[in-house]
Each structure stands twice: as structure tokens, then as C-alpha cells.
Amino acid sequence: MLRAEGLRFAHPGGRERVGGRGFELPAGRFMILCGANGSGKSTLLDLLAGLERPLAGTVELDGRGDRASLAAGTALLPQEPDYYLLGEDPREELELGLARAEALGRGRGPGGLEGLARAWGLADDLDSPVESLSPGQKKRLAIASALAGGPGAVLLDEPFSGLDWPGTLALLSDLAALKGTGASAVIATHEPYLLRDLADCWLMLRRGGSLFTRDPADLKRLPEFGARPYPGGAG
């Protein structure tokens, strides 16, 4: 269970970025974050990952709320995978992910490096330079590396950014496979309709308020939160 209650956050001297956010996300469920730029989506992900300390409120993963436990139990993937990937090739990147998981106390997970590579369609590219990979392959590699050791929750920031339509479809298939493992995910996106079939709930953000809902019909309210309208309605 990933749980947040009454979260508030502001950078020193700045306006409040997250105000009073709260939700409960059971294991194996996907929550989609929607809202305009500046509504606090990325900041909320940082709080859930233990990278920032809230001014008020709590975040807990499986009942533990200290920042070290949150960092150990979550995997955060930023919008641009190039900022996350450190290995020269997928083999080195996956090994770094496995070593990171061990250092955080999660272990190496079943199957090790070869199992991760097979599960995420990277087995044929293990020794290819990272810079030669497509944007979609880089995102897949970032997800695979982050999943080493089985984090309790995966946090993705605009995972479809920079992808063409074939790459988007491939990533949707990857996310469906991720859900099949029983992992939880919080996904910040401007394209919530792409994830309607995978979503269990939505958190719509705006300055001064939010809406947490499990009803797809509430997606018709996206424009109220400065987000792109849901194509064709949400019926």
C-alpha cells in the first residue's frame, strides 16, 4: 500500500507546489496523475520517492514513512531517460540497476540480468551502445533497470514524452506487462486517455485543489484542472 495524506510542499521562498494531496494506492494498482504544467505532478513524485521532505503530511509505503524506506521501496523514472541511464550499454545499465537494488536491500530479483533483459525485450541489444538505442528502447531500459530487485511502487514522469506512435504502443504493452507482475505504479502524464484500460484511479491536480477518483466518468472534468480534454468524452 502506497499512502499519502495531507501533503504540502513549497520550495524556500516559492509558492506552494503541492497542497493537501492525499490518496491510497493498494499493491498492484495503477494511479494516473493529470494536470497542467506547474500543477505539482513531478513534485508529488519526488515526495513519494523520498527525494523531498514535505512541509506537512505523510507518505507511507507498506506502513513505513521515513525517506530511506521510501527511497528503498520505490523506483522513480524521470521524463528524460538520458538523465537516468548511466551505463555505456544495456548490460552495464542493468548491472548498475541490480547493484543499486542490492545496496537498497531489495536483492537482485529473480532471473538476474538475463531475466530482466528477456522480460523487457533487451536481450538482443545488451552490448549495443546506449546512444544507438531508440527513445522507446531507452525508456524500456530505464524501466527494466529501475525494476531490478522488485520495488514496491514504480513512479513514472511523462513516460510517453518523445515517443512516436509505434513507440507509444510498445510502451503501453510494456506497462501492461508491468501491471501483470502485481507492481503498483503512479504515472504522471498529459495523455491519460492512453492509460484508461490500465488505470485503477486518477488524481487530478491544480493549484489549490485536487480530485482523487476511481470513476472514469470523472475524466470529463480534466479541463477544469488545466489538462487536455479527454477525446470523445469519458462515457
Q: Do 204 and 89 share a structural domain?
A: no
Is the domain of 70 the same as that of 134?
Answer: no
Mean pLDDT (the chain) is 85
Q: Span 106-126, mean pLDDT? A: 80
Query: What's the distance, CA 51 to chain centroid?
Result: 14
Give the Cα separation of 118 and 94 in Å (integer). 12
Is there a domain that residue 156 lies in? Answer: no
Q: Is it the case that residue 106 has pLDDT exceeding 80?
A: no
> What pLDDT, on the 0 to 100 scale, is given for residue 18?
76
pLDDT digits (tens, 9 = 90+) for 54-100: 888 899 998 888 888 888 888 888 877 777 788 999 999 999 888 88
Cell representation of residue 172: 503501453
Same domain, 184 and 226: yes
d(CA 115, CA 209): 43
**68 and 3 housed in the same domain:** yes
Q: pTM for this one?
A: 0.84
The average pLDDT across 216-224 equals 87
User: Are 56 and 96 members of one domain?
Assistant: no
pLDDT of residue 118: 85
The residue range of the domain holding 87 is 80-151
Residue range 7-27: mean pLDDT, rounded = 78
Say yes or no: 15 and 121 in one domain. Answer: no
Which CATH number goes with the domain that contains 211? Answer: 3.40.50.300
Helices assigned H by DSSP within 120-180: 135-146, 165-180
* pLDDT value, residue 109: 61
Q: Mark whether 14 and 63 lie in a shared domain.
A: yes
Q: From start to end of the chain, where are the E strands?
A: 2-10, 16-25, 30-35, 56-61, 74-77, 153-157, 184-188, 201-206, 209-213
Q: What is the band of 110 on the pLDDT scale with cuts at 50, 70, 90?
A: low
- 157 belongs to a structural domain: no
Query: What's the rounded Cα separation, in Å, for the pair 73 and 70?
Result: 5
116 found inside a domain:
yes
- Which of 116, 151, 186 finishes a domain? 151
For residue 225, name the pLDDT band (cuts at 50, 70, 90): confident
Residue 219 is assigned to a structural domain of this protein: yes
* Residue 162 maps to a domain: no
Q: Is residue 160 domain-resident?
A: no
Give a yes or no: residue 225 inside a domain: yes
pLDDT of residue 121: 83
Residues 235 and 216 in one domain: yes
Instruction: Say yes or no: 108 and 53 in one domain.
Output: no
**One domain for residues 98 and 133:** yes
Overall number of domains in the chain: 2
User: Looking at the structure, do residues 190 and 232 belong to the same domain, yes or no?
Assistant: yes
Residue 165 covered by a domain: no
